[in-house]
Amino acid sequence: MRVLVVGSGGREHALAWKIARSPRVERVLAVPGSAAMEREAACFAGVGTDDAAALVALAAREAVDLVVVGPEGPLAAGVADRLRDAGLAVFGPGRAAAQLEASKSFAKEFMSRHRIPTAAHASFADLDAAKAHVRALDGPCVVKADGLAAGKGVAVCETPEAALRALEETMAARRFGAAGERVVVEERLEGEEASFYAITDGERVVTLAAAQDHKRALDGDRGENTGGMGAYAPAPVVGPAVEARILSEIVQPTLRGLAADGLPYRGVLFIGLMIDRSGVPRVIEYNVRFGDPETQALVRQMHADLVPLLDGAARGALDPSIDARAGDPAVCVVLASGGYPRAFETGKAIDGIDDAERDPEVVVFHAGTKRAPTGGFSTAGGRVLGVTARGASFAVARERAYAACARIRFEGLHLRRDIGARALARP
């Protein structure tokens, strides 16, 4: 079969890499793709991710059997709806269901309506009202831009003063553009975060190994929120008892709620969770696509062929007997540009990628690179590379990932040195 991957980042590179290794796949295509993705896919740089008409025409011309939409933006814009209307099999929800990610207030109202455990919250379109609420809380809280902000529109605030600054930056200064027209202020949950993935055709579910992302920019979970500085899978915080609760208290009620609200869902439901010390899970946020950089770790971790899951969900015929959890531990460390997630410079020459990949257990996924005039790669984004390794144990995978990171160089390179430290510290 022929599979078209929509997107160009590290997540899409990882998806294309995994899809290309399926015995069921004859050819992988990518829109727009990237220079790095050309190893796995035929890239069509002239087609936009939100240009449904051009995507339909390309799929028809290239006899595409399955379209996998990577980023949240095209899903929120309704691209999957347009492609399905043209008769294509599409992995990714339609615009109505994509509101679970595209609007934090929509997601919170959905969770309240269907009694899905989450943080106490309030939504505001008025800056003064939001400030008054923060002052009344008089303690730690979380300020979230309501719309899509590439994972960076969240401020975890220790004090009311920090929350007030976050409100000013989000709603008045519009750091995140239109995404900050409305905000959600919620209680700060305590515990350990996890990323849980359920591939679904709207009725049946196949779960992947739980992962753990590292959102903050600096070691020790300090600094600003980013799109993700690294991830690993499986995450030991999600043991069998916790997973049973996630499925019964969150995943199944979410699917029933989507069906009850008339929101068809064919794709991956990515649930960001906070799990407290007693093992109680609560939803931090919904995402309607694979995570980044969790996907990089997951595709190295899982032994199963991903394509039957993607295709089955897209066609409403998911096989729930597929074991997508078995695999070896994997770790992804993100190499970022200096200054990220704020201002950063691009165009810095990258050295050492080939050296890093001499280890057969290491794959370097490209998140923000471009082909350099010299023939190598240079930086072209905040998150540049996802250095990903697997091993027979978590400790071995982590050691391999950081050894590979040490072989890569570019001016301003920044990385966290503690990816997976919590898992390593577990007895």
Query: What pLDDT is attached to residue 375?
Result: 86
pLDDT band for position 374 (cuts 50, 70, 90):
confident
CB atoms within 10 A of CB 140: 15
Q: Three-state secondary structure along 324-362?
A: CCCECCEEEEEEECCCCCCCCCCCCEEECHHHHCCCCCE
Is there a single domain that holds both residue 205 and residue 164?
no
Kindly tell me the number of DSSP H helices and DSSP E strands found in the chain: 15, 23
CA distances from 300 to 63, 132, 304, 311, 375 (A): 29, 47, 10, 20, 27
pLDDT at position 179 is 86
Q: Are residues 158 and 252 in the same domain?
A: no
Last residue in a domain, options 161, 181, 201: 181
284: three-class secondary structure by DSSP: strand
What strand order describes the sheet that includes 2-7?
Answer: 42-43, 27-32, 2-7, 66-69, 90-91
pLDDT the model gives residue 413: 98
The pLDDT value recorded for residue 9 is: 97
Please report which confidence band the pLDDT of residue 373 belongs to, taking 50, 70 and 90 as the band edges: confident
- Do residue 9 and residue 155 come from a single domain? no
Tens digits of residue pLDDT in 72-131? 999 999 999 999 999 999 999 999 999 999 999 999 999 999 999 999 999 999 999 999
Q: What is the average per-residue pLDDT within 32-43?
A: 97
> Are residues 223 and 143 part of one domain?
no
Question: Is the same domain home to 349 and 228?
Answer: yes
What is the reported pLDDT for 212?
96
Beta strands in 22-88 (DSSP E): 27-32, 42-43, 66-69
- Tens of pLDDT, residue by residue over 335-357, are 999 999 999 999 999 999 999 99
Domain assignment of residue 273, yes or no: yes
What one-character DSSP code corresponds to residue 126? -
* Residue 155 in domain: yes
Q: What is the token pair recorded at 373?
A: 């005039």
Regarding whether 346 and 247 lie in a shared domain, the answer is: yes
DSSP state of 239: -
Residue span of the structural domain in which 18 resides: 2-94
The count of structural domains within the chain is 3
- Angle among Cα 345, 348, 354 to the nearest 5 degrees reads 140
> Which amino acid belongs to residue 106?
F
pLDDT above 90 (res 208): yes
* 142-179 tens-digit pLDDT: 999 998 887 678 888 999 999 999 999 999 999 999 88
For the chain, give the number of residues.
427
In-domain check, residue 308: yes
Give SS3 for 384.
strand
Mean pLDDT of 28-39: 97
Confidence grade of residue 425 (pLDDT, cut at 50, 70, 90)? confident
Among 291, 178, 196, 289, smallest CA distance to 244 is for 196
What value does the mean pLDDT of the chain take?
95
| Statement: residue 427 has pLDDT above 80 | no
* Interatomic CA distance for residues 345 and 338, integer angstroms: 7
- Considering the domain architecture, whether residues 244 and 375 belong to the same structural domain is answered as yes
How far is the C-alpha of 172 from the C-alpha of 19, rounded, in Å? 43
> CA separation (Å) from 199 to 100, 189, 239, 258, 297?
15, 26, 19, 14, 17
Residue 287 is predicted with a pLDDT of 95
8 A C-beta contact, residue 369 and residue 379: yes
Does 171 lie in the same domain as 196?
no
User: Distance of CA 49 to CAs 9, 77, 249, Å?
Assistant: 12, 10, 35
CA distance 221 to 223: 7
The answer to whether residues 269 and 391 belong to one domain is yes
Range from 170-179, 290-299, 353-362 carrying the lowest mean pLDDT: 170-179
**Distance in angstroms (rounded) separating the CA atoms of residues 134 and 178:** 22
Contact 88, 67 (CB under 8 A): yes
From 136, 152, 181, give the residue that closes a domain. 181
Nearest to 84 by CA among 50, 54, 56, 44: 56
Q: What is the pTM of this model?
A: 0.93
Which domain CATH number covers 211? 3.30.470.20
pLDDT in the model for residue 149: 81
Mean pLDDT of 383-412: 97
Sheet holding 349-350, edge to edge: 349-350, 377-379, 369-371
Instruction: Report the pLDDT value the prediction gives residue 239, as an integer from 0 to 100.
Output: 95
User: Does residue 110 belong to any structural domain of this protein?
Assistant: no
Are residues 155 and 85 located together in one domain of the fold?
A: no
The answer to whether residues 86 and 205 belong to one domain is no
115 occurs within a structural domain: no
